[in-house]
Structure 1
Amino acid sequence: MKVFLINGVVMGGGAGLSMNTYFRVVTERTVFAMPEASIGLFPDVGASYFLSRLPGYFAEYLGLTGRRLNGEEMVKCGLATHFVPSEKLKLLENALQTVTTSDISTITALIDKFSEVAHLKEDSPLKRLDTINKCFSKPTVEEIVLSLEKEIEVDGAEKWIADALNYMRESCPTSLKIWLRSVRKGRVQSIEQCLSRDYNIASHFFRRIVSNDFYEGSRAKLFDKDKKPKVNNSVSCSFHRVCAI
């Protein structure tokens, strides 16, 4: 029985390795996000499976906005199973090394000895889940953006909404649309099906079958760092073929 101790940044591949395990222990230093759309890719590595199991339309929100979650938020939404202060993590690790059984109840009881209750900050997006569900349940990316814009008109420039809109406007449109379709397929599929689809779509990205957005996004955000990617703002018919499975 694997126990993942997550005491830092867990994004992309790190999330794919850890989120589908039975025990996921986080600390106050943990930071989770799936920001792939910002570089012209999409949340892959099984994200359409493990994120789609979260409450409401929180999966759509995370993948479309790249929002970062702390350890407490991960526990509250179900991405993590236990919250342990980082100062106790080494003690927990040492204790786990003495375990000679894979019995779930035994391991749970051991981790519980080091765990603490997770508390959400007032500005946590999980405290805005009603609004998130209202906006991110819309059928298209365009309608989600319009819904968020209407929320700003009603409630004023609430920071989390402004941040979401800014991220989506700066991200690759094709990536956002692919994620929205993928996560909604993932809700009724197995992890094997989700991983197979991820592999298929990613292969199309890497081969530039859809567009050059991944390479251009990586150049602008990771290498040259001019933050001015020249992405394709029109979604071609290839998009529908890529997402067909």
Structure 2
Amino acid sequence: MAYGKTASSEFDQILVQDKQSVQTVILNRPKQLNALSYQMISQLLELFQAYENDSSVKLVLLKGNGRAFCAGGDVATVVRDISEGNWKLGANFFEKEFILNYIMATYRKPQVSILNGIVMGGGAGASIHGRFRIVTENTVFAMPETALGLFPDVGASYFLSRLPGFFGEYVGLTGTRLDGPEMLACGLATHFVHSKQLPLLEKELCEVNIDDPLNICKIIDKYVEVPILKEKSAYRELHIVDKCFSCRTVEDILSSLENENAERSGGWISAAIESLKTASPTSLKIFLKSIREGRLQGVGQCLMREYRMVCHVLRGQVSRDFSEGCRAILVDKDKNPKWSPCRLDLVTDDMVDHYFSRVNGEEWTDLKLPARSNLPASAMAKL
């Protein structure tokens, strides 16, 4: 059965290549770095649900057109809706996206995501939850939401909290960029393959006719390389990451980093301090609470909680940092957001707790995830 758009057209945001038992899904907004629109999320959800119920489909291969896999969700549109008084349109966007994330995290069939390029925000949600995540020398990963006045969502409180030690706190709070070798080392990726080998790998994967993950793993293993972790990677100093980012509060994390920096300035520690000082104070505090709760929750619980959080962000009753961050970074591009509250000490525990409460709004309901009969298939779920 053929699904989606098979013709290569710049007007088709999702392309599908039907190879009998393998469906290759291509994100096709290269000029926008494949940022996920509501239309794309809706179509992806429809496709993945159809494939799961089609016994002839054994494998779903997901990749991006151009130099990005996916640079995130199309948040500029969401912010425009907020400015026009339609925050619920943004809530609909995140609702559908989080359901897609949950479907992927509990998928009964193997999903292979080829992350050859930029992978950020919503792009992580559309790939990290899947069983196989292949990175290359071109991969650049980040969860940069705290710099936008949002917070790492799409189930990040689940998959980042499962990284070794407190590396997830480091990645989520600072928005630091990881390359392919770092993603492999910390477990965000399952395989490293050089980009020149991808055509051969894809060709062989498209000949798969059984949905046995071990068989797929054997195919990928033919093309893997063992990459070298760069000397200045924070992952080489996980003991310092853990020492600093295990602290109870964002203020304590920052203080610990500054103490470390006094002994040996420069490198990733200085960069982390700068990131924390320029990010939204509210975003930092709500994400720290989010990832700490995520350690003790399943992926579904994390997504349901994150949906409450994002709806509060969209409503802007405590802080309007999301709109301001998007203005400064994405629209005016002055890179000088005026956060409110502007300091960490002005963000109280009560303000943070508000983001975790039910939304008191007419016709608003908690995220309703579809019933799933299977356990999470994602390799992340086993960490």
TM (normalized to structure 1)? 0.97
Output the CA distance in 2 between the equivalents of 1:244 and 1:51: 22
State, as a whole percentage, how many aligned pairs show the same letter: 53
- Please report how far the alpha carbon of residue 244 of structure 1 lies from its aligned counterpart in structure 2 after TM superposition: 4.6
Output the CA distance in 2 between the equivalents of 1:238 and 1:130: 32
SS in 1 for 2:163: coil
Q: Deviations over 1:86-118 (max 9, x none)?
A: 000111111100001110110000000011112
**Pairing 1:213–2:321 present:** yes
Output the CA distance in 2 between the equivalents of 1:90 and 1:195: 34
Output the CA distance in 2 between the equivalents of 1:99 and 1:72: 27
SS in 2 for 1:32: strand
Output the CA distance in 2 between the equivalents of 1:141 and 1:195: 23
Output the CA distance in 2 between the equivalents of 1:117 and 1:183: 30
**Pairing 1:238–2:346 present:** no
Gaps of 5+ in 2: 1-109, 359-383
**Pairing 1:42–2:154 present:** no
Gaps of 5+ in 1: none
Residue 4 of structure 1 corresponds to which residue in structure 2?
113
Q: Deviations over 1:34-66 (max 9, x none)?
A: 000001000000000011110000000001111
Instruction: Give the conservation status (yes or no) of the 8 Å contact 1:40–1:175.
Output: yes
TM (normalized to structure 2)? 0.63
Residue 200 of structure 1 corresponds to which residue in structure 2?
308
Instruction: Give the conservation status (yes or no) of the 8 Å contact 2:313–2:355.
Output: no
- Please report how far the alpha carbon of residue 243 of structure 1 lies from its aligned counterpart in structure 2 after TM superposition: 2.6
SS in 2 for 1:108: helix
SS in 2 for 1:151: helix
Instruction: Give the conservation status (yes or no) of the 8 Å contact 2:120–2:143.
Output: yes
Corresponding residue pairs, total: 244
SS in 1 for 2:214: helix
RMSD: 1.0
Instruction: Give the conservation status (yes or no) of the 8 Å contact 2:308–2:357.
Output: no
Runs of 4+ residues over 4 Å off in structure 1:
none
Residue 106 of structure 1 corresponds to which residue in structure 2?
215
Map 1:1-245 → 2, pairs under 5 A: 1-154=110-263, 156-232=264-340, 233=342, 234-236=346-348, 237-244=350-357
SS in 1 for 2:141: strand
